[in-house]
Amino acid sequence: MDTQVAIIGAGISGLAAAYRLHTSGRSVRVFESGAQAGGVIRTHRQNGLLIEEGPNSINGAGPALTRVIHELDLMEARVSANPDARNRFVVRNRRPVPIPQSIPAFLRTPLLSARAKARLLTEPFRTRGPSDESLADFVARRLGPEVLDYAVNPFVAGVYGGRPDQLAVQHAFPMLKTLEQKHGSLLVGGLRNALGSASDTDDAPTLSGLFSFRDGLQTLPRALAAHLGDALTLDCPVQQITPTADGWMLTHANGTTRAESVVYAAPLHQLGDGIALDTPLGLDPLHNLPYAPMRSVSLAVPKDAVSHPLDGFGMLVPAAESDLRILGTIFASTLFPGRAPEGQVLLTTFVGGARHPEHMELSTDATEAMVQRDLDRLLGLSGTPTYVHHVTWPRAIPQYTAAHGHLQGRLDALEAAHSGLRFAGNYRTGISVEDAFDSGWQAAGMLATADARD
Ligand SMILES: Cc1cc2nc3c(=O)[nH]c(=O)nc-3n(C[C@H](O)[C@H](O)[C@H](O)COP(=O)(O)OP(=O)(O)OC[C@H]3O[C@@H](n4cnc5c(N)ncnc54)[C@H](O)[C@@H]3O)c2cc1C
């Protein structure tokens, strides 16, 4: 055997699996098709700017990620979000309106009409819905159509690049469904959880709040890759995964590698479409996982070219604001220190998503003009940017639709049928960096447990 565990993909999920196995003394080999580790976590530096091409921040780290950040000596390199970034804006009537953070602010906010606010009070009396409901139907039924349009729709565009009518509540936001099932109400359940959590104690340290690193989010995969050293092979796409009598054989750009176990941590759309897996079970439903496309456009402009104070994390644009085209903008230079030189601001705007997949066809000039037009209307942006950086993600984020349960069932069946095969990544139990990290960590843990049983 060439190695105990072969890992396909050095995104954060593959790196997490590799790190856990490597530090527990297993021999691992990681094969990455790209020229660097980190997958969609990519930081670009130019003209004194620090631009995140993929994720911008991590929203709290669980015990495993916290432990790894400590072990890699990255605590000092970490930066917390600027306190100003607590403000988040949602656009209503072409104006960014702060999301209320207190009951008096909620009562005053123009984000929802008085009628929509009053309807929220009736939420505990709504009946339960079917388990296969879309997020849009769930929210409209429990919280009302205005909350759907001006809270959930923009939030889902910001997180998933998605649309509430296409996502299944039980897969995309299982917590909401659980609150309904357990407490009969989101408000009552949320309140009970908030009161209960004060007395919950968990000894494992975790990191709370939004954070990144002084040199950008790619600091994390870079440190994981450095830890792995020669165990990581870049520029080496895997083409085939074949079960053998005593394990697995991978066929890749550099030849073949035999391994006792395999962690598949590449995007799921690659399976059967770039990476073949020999299995009698077939891969059919796995191809059906939809991904939202996304383009990010980062603009650096002189501070005085924007009339808005940019005193927040960023703004989200609901689909109901139909004359606007962008999905939302992160006020990147407010969010973390050191993102733009003195006197300049950095704004990262997302376009496309499942709301406007047609925008992926636009030229960079047309996209930039569209972004500038919307930012002018919303933030009072004027003049010519000093720097513009475009990144296109044709398949940015997996969408947890009604078919997701079936798809997970097929992945579970593949793992059960093929001993030593595990799937990890943002298509499993959540799309955030922390979720993807955790899925790799869990996959490694399951392999280690299975080894101990043998
Ligand atoms: C634009 C954008 C913004 C986001 N913003 C945030 C955010 O602010 N906060 C947050 O928490 N999350 C955010 N996310 C989500 C989060 O970043 C991702 O879900 C997560 O990083 C995915 O990690 P992964 O390991 O599952 O997959 P990936 O990062 O996709 O890694 C998979 C790896 O597999 C490799 N690979 C593919 N094919 C092969 C092959 N044949 N052989 C070998 N290797 C292969 C790829 O090159 C890649 O490196 C964002 C995502 C995007 C795209």
Q: How does DSSP assign 401-423, residue by residue?
A: -TTHHHHHHHHHHHHHHSTTEEE
- Between 3.40.50.300, 3.40.30.10, 2.30.110.10, 3.50.50.60, what CATH number should domain 3-41+218-289+401-453 receive? 3.50.50.60
From start to end of 317-386, where are the E strands? Answer: 328-330, 344-352
Provide the β-strand partners of residue 170. none
6 lines ligand 1 (CB under 6 A): no
Task: Tell me the CA–centroid distance for residue 395 and ligand 1, in Å.
Answer: 10
- Cβ pair 346, 51 in contact under 8 A: yes
pLDDT in tens, the chain (454 residues): 899 999 999 999 999 999 999 999 999 999 999 999 999 999 999 999 999 999 999 999 999 999 999 999 999 999 999 998 999 999 999 999 999 999 999 999 999 999 999 999 999 999 888 888 999 999 999 999 999 999 999 999 999 999 999 999 999 999 999 999 999 999 889 888 888 765 555 678 899 999 999 999 999 999 999 999 999 999 999 999 999 999 999 999 999 999 999 999 999 999 988 899 988 888 888 878 999 999 999 999 999 999 999 999 999 999 999 999 999 999 999 999 999 999 999 999 999 999 999 999 999 999 999 999 999 999 999 989 999 999 999 999 999 999 999 999 999 999 999 989 999 999 999 999 999 999 999 999 999 777 766 6
Residue 66 is predicted with a pLDDT of 97
- Please, where in the chain does CATH 3.90.660.20 lie? 290-398
Residue type (1 letter), 370? M
For CA atoms 142, 148, 151, 154, the dihedral sign is: positive
pLDDT of residue 91: 98
Using CA atoms, how far apart are residues 133 and 148, in angstroms rounded to an integer? 14
User: Which residues are 424's β-sheet partners?
Assistant: none
Q: What is the CATH number of domain 290-398?
A: 3.90.660.20
As a whole number of angstroms, the distance between CA 409 and CA 407 comes to: 5
Q: What stretch(es) of the chain map to CATH 1.10.3110.10? A: 91-197
pLDDT of residue 254: 96
In whole angstroms, how far apart are CA 52 and each of 59, 66, 217, 266, 343?
15, 21, 7, 21, 20
Q: What 8-state DSSP symbol labels residue 150?
A: I
> What is the chain's percent helix, strand, coil content, to nearest 5?
40, 25, 35
Domain 91-197 has CATH 1.20.1260.10: no
Verify whether ligand 1 is closer than 6 Å to residue 65 (CB atom): no
Q: What is the pTM of this model?
A: 0.96
Q: How far is the CA of 132 from the centre of ligand 1 (A)?
A: 27
C-beta 267 within 6 A of ligand 1? yes
Atom of ligand 1 nearest to the CA of 270: 38
Q: How far apart are CA 178 and CA 196, in angstroms?
A: 16
Interior angle at CA 56, CA 393 and CA 197, nearest 5: 120
Q: How many CA atoms lie within 13 A of 262 on its CB side?
A: 26
